[in-house]
Each structure stands twice: as C-alpha cells, then as structure tokens.
C-alpha cells in the first residue's frame, strides 16, 4: 500500500464531494457515541424498573422519560444511517461516472500498440469493474474505523471504571481478528489479479453465445455446445480457486469466532465474580454485559474495516499505476508541438521499421517512400505483407521502431495528435457499425460539424448511398441494426458505402481507405472507382486493395511483401517489370478469364 496514492485518492474524493466527507465525519462521531448513550440509558432504565417492581412509584415518570430517550436514540440512529447510506450511494455513482470517464480518456491516450498486449486489457478490466465503490471503499472504511474507535474508547472507559481486566480482554480480542482479516483481504486481491485473464475469456465467450452479431455463425457451425462447455470449464476453474481461498478463510474465521467466544466467556465470568464481590445493581449488571458485547462488535468492526481498507487500497494503487503510466504521460504531453501543415506538399517515409513491443520480429522493415501532394497511392500485397501496419504508422497510431515519417519537413512526432487526427481520415476494413441513426454513422467522423446537413447529404451522394437512405421511412434519422432499438439492417455493401460517406464527410487533407470496395457489387465498385479521383481531387489519398484492377486508378502502386516495399510504379510500369505485381495481376486476370470461359462453355 502506497500512502501517496491514498492521499491522491482522498484529494480526488474531496474534489468530487467535500460536503459528503464532512457529513460522513459528523455522522461517524455521532454514531460512535450512540452505543455508550444507549448503554447508559438502559442501565438507568433497568434500575428504575426494578424500583417500580419493589413498589417505588416515584421512579415511574423517570422510567417513561428514559424509555422515550431510548426510542429517540433508536430513531435518530436509523435516520442518520439511512441518510448516510443515500449519500454514500450518491457519491459512489458520481465517482463511478468520473472514474470511468477518466479511464476512458486515459485509455484513448495509451500508445496504440498497447491494444495488442493482453496484460493491458487485464489491467483495464481490473480497474473498470465497480470503480466507484472500490475507490470509495477505503474512505468509507476509514470512517467506519473512526466510528468504531469512538465507540470502543467510550466503552473501554466505562469497562475500566468497572474493572481493568475487562479492558485487557477487549484489547486481546482485536489482535487475532485484525491479522486474519487483513491476511485474507490481501490474498483476495492477489487472487483477483491472477484470475482476471480467465474471467475476461469467460466474459468473451458469454458474448459469443448471447450476441446477435455472432448468432448466425454459432448456429451455422453448431458451436453452442462447444462454447458453452468451454465457458463452463473456464468459469468453474475460476470459481474453484475462489472457493479454495474462501474455504481457508472460513476455517480461520471459525477458529477466530471460537477464540472470541472464549474471551466473551471470560468476560462473563468476571461480571459474575463482580456481582459476588461488589455491590452491583441489576442495571449495572445488564449494562456491563451489553458493554462487553458491544466492545467485541466494535473490535470486529475495526479489524474488518482495516482489512477492507488494506484490500481496497490495493485497487487504488492499481488505478494510479494505470493512470500515471509513463508511456501514457508521454502520449498526453502535447506542449511545444506543431500544427498539421496547412498545405501538404509531400509525405516522406525514411527508413521506417516497426515491431511490436517485446517482439524481435519486424512487421515493417526499412520502408522508404515519398508521396507528392495530391497523389493517389494504391498499396497492394498478399495478406500479412504489412499494408495495414504501414497505414497505422502513417496515422501515428503506431510509433515507428526505427526511421521517421514526415509531413512536409515536420516529423510526425512533432505534430500535435489532435491536429494530425483532424487532418487525416481513415476507414478501416473492420470499421465500426454504430447502432445509432444513419446521420450519426456519417457525421461521427467530424462531430463538430454534425449539423451541416448539406455536407452530410453530399457525402452520402458521392458514396452512392443517398438513394438507399431516402427509401427508408425516416431517411437519415433511421436507426441501424437491432442491438439497441428496432432498426433497419443494411447489407455489407450498404454499410461500406455509409463508411465511405463517413470518410468523405470529414473532408480532411489526407484520406486513407482500407479495402474500400471489398463488400460492393461489381457495378457499385465500378462507380466508386470512377468517382474516386473526383472526390479526392484536392487530397493526398491512399487505398489498400487486393483487387489489382482497383489499383489501376492510382497514380502509383506500392507493392509490399514480408514488410518491405518490393516494387513502386504505375500499372503499366509494374506490368513491364514482370515482377510480383504482374504475377498477382495475372493470377486474378486468369481467374476471371477461366470463369468467363466456363460461362460460355
């Protein structure tokens, strides 16, 4: 447990709810005094009732007053506790919202390569789960300790006045209770740390079994039983390890309860001995027994809250280790950087290489290329040749391992991330299909301009989806998919046109398209490429394609193989080279020729 993190956590909560902290402090002090007040009133009440039983009618009115005071304390205790529960829940919701917001922002600043690291997801999963209640728990535990301490001190003072041995017994109860609860609290956190990867795997398989987007493949391949069994094994493995720890904890707590029972029996023996050796009224006898019992409860509350404090403070350490990652800080530091160039005269890749963290294998190897203003570049190559990775480096998503990328004369790491993002557009092959309106699916690329209906409609027309949208009853307000609401389903080709409209709506200086026509029918694909140069005439554009015919509309074609650029040129030049490009082109051409011959035969 790091004290500095606890202080930062307290400052965070103070900023969010200083009045809640002050309220909790006041409530802790008041509720800590309730037990001793209740014991005192009970003692006097029992004594007065005993006098009434022996015929002393003068004690009757005072007994009623004490009874009323006892009722008021019970009522006040109930009101205070329920009010506190409400405000605890309220601040928990506010913290949960703020923490999840901060985590989301920070996750968006982490180096993109972290998303290829499973440990990053494990860390994110741990701090995302019930973040508000876990962050608040150490503070609530602290107030619980304060309340129990006030109760304990007042009761121990009362017991000490009766006999010093009762005080010693109360202290002895505390030590084993705290040790056991702290030990298993720490063990529980470390177990959760270890079980997180399997918990994520089980959660993923549950989504496979219950998600609409997965249902067709799960049913077609009859995978339900396979994944149910796989999920069940993973779930039960985690559950078994949790139960092993819980079993050990309960054994220890049984021994602890037995030890507490012995202490309580010893205290009861001392009380009986006192009734023989001293003048103790019946009220004092009842009060001493109640005080001993309440003292043990207070001791248990302190040890339990301290153990909970230790366990949940580990979560706070985990949270700040995520939020204060040096890599993330470096990503977030955008001071003294430049804006994206107003006019992009060139994009240069100088000896660029890339490999994933903790890996020696180079995905890109010594890439050098210069792209002039307004050029349309097609990137082709077999699967795994490094095409999409190269694009991600151009976007600044991946930090290159070696070499540099320049926009004009400005190195990419010297450009503000926001400015770079604002001036580049990319539609990946696995673009997001938002379960919102068609309008939102288009304007999401530039939400600052989302009310520009004319621009949105123009983008949809250029992408070839406008007429399809008008066919829906609610036009651009039509909800897509059936995940959140009863919306309309689009075909793969229609979704790809919506994604193209999204890219065009952003209207940035550099446009990158990853397989922009893979789901289009031949006529739509032909129309798309006929319009390609028109809607990118003033932009520098890149597109990745496996279709060699698509590459013919580019000014230059870049051929990649095994993470390297092996050929660069126009379609005609590359055909004349008789190299890798010509081989791929002929393979596709022969495929279509053979298909046509089969049709005519």
The secondary structure of residue 556, as a DSSP letter, is: E
Contact 438/476 with Cβ under 8 angstroms?
yes
Give yes or no for residue 305 having a pLDDT over 70: yes
Contact 524/495 with Cβ under 8 angstroms?
no
Average pLDDT, the chain: 82
What's the confidence (pLDDT) of residue 216?
62
- Rg of the chain over all Cα atoms, to the nearest angstrom: 36
The stretch 469-479 carries a mean pLDDT of 92
Least confident residue range of 118-132, 284-298, 444-458, 515-529:
515-529
Give yes or no for residue 511 having a pLDDT over 80: yes
What's the confidence (pLDDT) of residue 292?
76
Q: 80 and 49, same structural domain?
A: yes
Between 580 and 215, the higher pLDDT residue: 580
Residue 486, classed as helix, strand or coil, is: coil
What's the confidence (pLDDT) of residue 353?
94
Domain boundary pick from 326, 357, 383: 326
Q: Assess if residue 69 is contained within a domain.
A: yes
For residue 491, the enclosing domain spans 346-592
Domain boundary pick from 272, 295, 326: 326
Domain boundary pick from 326, 359, 394: 326
Q: 140 and 14, same structural domain?
A: yes
Q: 120 and 72, same structural domain?
A: yes
Give yes or no for residue 313 having a pLDDT over 90: no
Q: 261 and 179, same structural domain?
A: yes
* CATH code: domain of residue 110: 1.20.1560.10
Between 442 and 116, the higher pLDDT residue: 442
Q: Assess if residue 253 is contained within a domain.
A: yes
Contact 287/42 with Cβ under 8 angstroms?
yes
Give yes or no for residue 391 having a pLDDT over 60: yes
Dist CA 329 CA 327 (whole Å): 5
Q: Assess if residue 198 is contained within a domain.
A: no
Contact 39/171 with Cβ under 8 angstroms?
no
Q: 314 and 432, same structural domain?
A: no
Q: Would you place residue 280 in the very low, low, confident or very high pLDDT band (cuts 50, 70, 90)? A: low
Dist CA 573 CA 25 (whole Å): 79
Dist CA 480 CA 437 (whole Å): 6
**What residues form DSSP beta bridges with 559?**
380, 567
Contact 481/421 with Cβ under 8 angstroms?
no
Q: 312 and 442, same structural domain?
A: no
What's the confidence (pLDDT) of residue 213?
67
What's the confidence (pLDDT) of residue 438?
92
Q: Shortest CA distance to 3 belongs to which of 315, 312, 317, 307?
A: 317
The stretch 220-230 carries a mean pLDDT of 79
Q: Assess if residue 226 is contained within a domain.
A: no
Give yes or no for residue 128 having a pLDDT over 80: no
Dist CA 186 CA 253 (whole Å): 15
**What residues form DSSP beta bridges with 381?**
560
Q: 95 and 21, same structural domain?
A: yes
Q: Shortest CA distance to 413 belongs to which of 429, 428, 430, 395?
A: 395
The stretch 233-257 carries a mean pLDDT of 87
Q: 518 and 392, same structural domain?
A: yes
The secondary structure of residue 15, as a DSSP letter, is: H
What's the confidence (pLDDT) of residue 406?
94
Dist CA 256 CA 238 (whole Å): 27
Q: Shortest CA distance to 519 belongs to which of 561, 464, 471, 480?
A: 464
The stretch 506-514 carries a mean pLDDT of 88
pLDDT tens for each residue of 531-580: 777 778 888 989 888 777 777 788 899 999 999 999 999 988 998 888 88
Contact 316/6 with Cβ under 8 angstroms?
yes
Q: Would you place residue 332 in the very low, low, confident or very high pLDDT band (cuts 50, 70, 90)? A: very low
Q: Shortest CA distance to 350 belongs to which of 426, 402, 312, 278?
A: 402
Give yes or no for residue 326 having a pLDDT over 70: no
Q: CA torsion sign, 105 to 109 to 115 to 117?
A: negative
pLDDT tens for each residue of 136-192: 888 888 888 899 889 888 888 887 777 777 777 766 776 777 778 778 877 877 887
* CATH code: domain of residue 373: 3.40.50.300
Cβ partners under 8 Å of residue 281, min gap 6: 47, 50
Provide the percentage of residues in the chain whose pLDDT is more than 90.
Answer: 15
Dist CA 349 CA 43 (whole Å): 87
Q: 365 and 303, same structural domain?
A: no
Cβ partners under 8 Å of residue 348, min gap 6: 369, 370, 371, 404, 405, 406
Helix residue spans in 464-570 (DSSP H): 466-470, 492-506, 522-535, 548-551
Least confident residue range of 27-41, 146-160, 177-191, 357-371:
177-191
Q: Assess if residue 176 is contained within a domain.
A: yes
Q: 358 and 298, same structural domain?
A: no
Q: Would you place residue 331 in the very low, low, confident or very high pLDDT band (cuts 50, 70, 90)? A: very low
What's the confidence (pLDDT) of residue 548?
74
What's the confidence (pLDDT) of residue 452?
92
Q: 351 and 280, same structural domain?
A: no
Q: Shortest CA distance to 347 belongs to which of 366, 370, 368?
A: 370
Q: Assess if residue 228 is contained within a domain.
A: no
Q: 73 and 17, same structural domain?
A: yes
Q: Assess if residue 418 is contained within a domain.
A: yes
Please state the domain count of the chain.
Answer: 2
Q: Assess if residue 205 is contained within a domain.
A: no
Between 312 and 431, the higher pLDDT residue: 431
Cβ partners under 8 Å of residue 177, min gap 6: 256, 260, 299, 300, 303, 304
Predicted TM-score (pTM) of this structure: 0.69
Q: Would you place residue 591 in the very low, low, confident or very high pLDDT band (cuts 50, 70, 90)? A: low
pLDDT tens for each residue of 45-78: 887 887 777 777 677 788 888 888 888 888 988 8
CB < 8 Å & 24+ apart, contacts of 479-483: 479/435, 479/436, 479/437, 480/433, 480/434, 480/435, 480/436, 480/437, 480/438, 480/441, 481/433, 481/435, 482/212, 482/435, 483/212, 483/213, 483/435
């Amino acid at each position: 447990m790091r004290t500095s993190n606890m202080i930062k956590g307290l400052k965070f909560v103070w900023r969010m709810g200083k009045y809640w902290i002050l309220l909790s402090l006041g409530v802790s002090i008041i509720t800590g005094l309730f037990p001793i007040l209740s014991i005192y009133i009970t003692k006097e009440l029992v004594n007065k009732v005993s006098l009434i039983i022996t015929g002393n009618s003068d004690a009757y009115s005072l007994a009623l007053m004490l009874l009323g005071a006892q009722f008021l304390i019970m009522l006040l205790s109930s009101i205070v506790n329920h009010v506190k529960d409400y405000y605890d829940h309220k601040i928990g919701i506010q913290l949960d919202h703020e923490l999840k917001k901060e985590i989301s922002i920070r996750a968006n600043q982490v180096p993109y390569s972290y998303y290829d690291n499973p440990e990053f997801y494990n860390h994110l999963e741990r701090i995302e789960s019930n973040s508000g209640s876990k962050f608040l728990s150490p503070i609530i535990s602290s107030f619980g300790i304060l309340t129990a301490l006030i109760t304990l001190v007042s009761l121990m003072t009362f017991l000490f006045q009766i006999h010093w041995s009762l005080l010693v017994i109360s202290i002895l109860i505390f030590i084993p209770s705290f040790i056991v609860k702290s030990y298993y609290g720490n063990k529980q956190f470390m177990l959760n740390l270890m079980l997180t990867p399997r918990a994520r795997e089980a959660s993923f398989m549950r989504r496979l079994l219950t998600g609409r987007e997965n249902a067709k493949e799960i049913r077609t391949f009859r995978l339900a039983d396979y994944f149910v069994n796989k999920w069940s094994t993973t779930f039960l493995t985690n559950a078994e390890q949790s139960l092993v720890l819980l079993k050990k904890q309960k054994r220890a707590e049984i021994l602890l309860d037995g030890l507490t029972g012995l202490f309580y029996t010893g205290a009861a023996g001392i009380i009986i001995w006192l009734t023989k050796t001293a003048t103790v009224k019946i009220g004092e006898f009842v009060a001493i027994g109640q005080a001993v019992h309440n003292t043990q409860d207070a001791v248990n509350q302190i040890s339990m809250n301290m153990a909970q404090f230790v366990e949940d403070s580990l979560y706070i350490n985990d949270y700040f280790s995520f939020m204060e990652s040096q890599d993330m800080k470096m990503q977030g530091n955008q001071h003294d950087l430049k804006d994206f160039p107003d006019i992009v005269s060139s994009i240069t890749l100088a000896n660029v290489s890339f490999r994933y963290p903790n890996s020696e294998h180079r995905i890109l190897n010594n890439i050098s290329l210069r792209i002039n203003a307004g050029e349309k570049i097609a990137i082709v190559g077999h699967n795994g040749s490094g095409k999409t990775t190269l694009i991600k480096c151009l976007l600044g998503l991946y930090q290159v391992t070696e070499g540099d990328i320049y926009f004009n004369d400005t190195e990419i790491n010297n450009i503000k991330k926001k400015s770079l993002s604002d001036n580049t557009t990319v539609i990946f092959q696995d673009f997001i299909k938002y379960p919102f309106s068609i309008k939102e699916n288009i304007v999401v690329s530039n939400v600052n301009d989302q009310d520009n209906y004319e621009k949105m409609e123009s983008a949809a027309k250029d992408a070839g989806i406008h007429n399809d949208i008008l066919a829906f009853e609610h036009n651009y307000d039509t909800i897509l998919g059936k995940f959140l609401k009863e919306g309309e389903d689009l075909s793969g080709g229609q979704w790809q046109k919506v994604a193209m409209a999204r890219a065009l709506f952003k209207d940035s200086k550099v446009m990158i398209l990853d397989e922009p026509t893979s789901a289009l029918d031949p006529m739509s694909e032909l129309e798309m490429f006929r319009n390609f140069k028109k809607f990118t005439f003033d932009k520098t554009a890149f597109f990745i394609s496996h279709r060699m015919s698509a590459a013919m509309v580019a000014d230059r074609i870049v051929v990649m193989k095994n993470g390297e650029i092996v050929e660069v040129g126009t379609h005609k030049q590359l055909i004349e080279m008789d190299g890798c490009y010509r081989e791929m082109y002929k393979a596709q051409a022969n495929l279509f020729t053979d298909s046509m011959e089969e049709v005519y035969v």
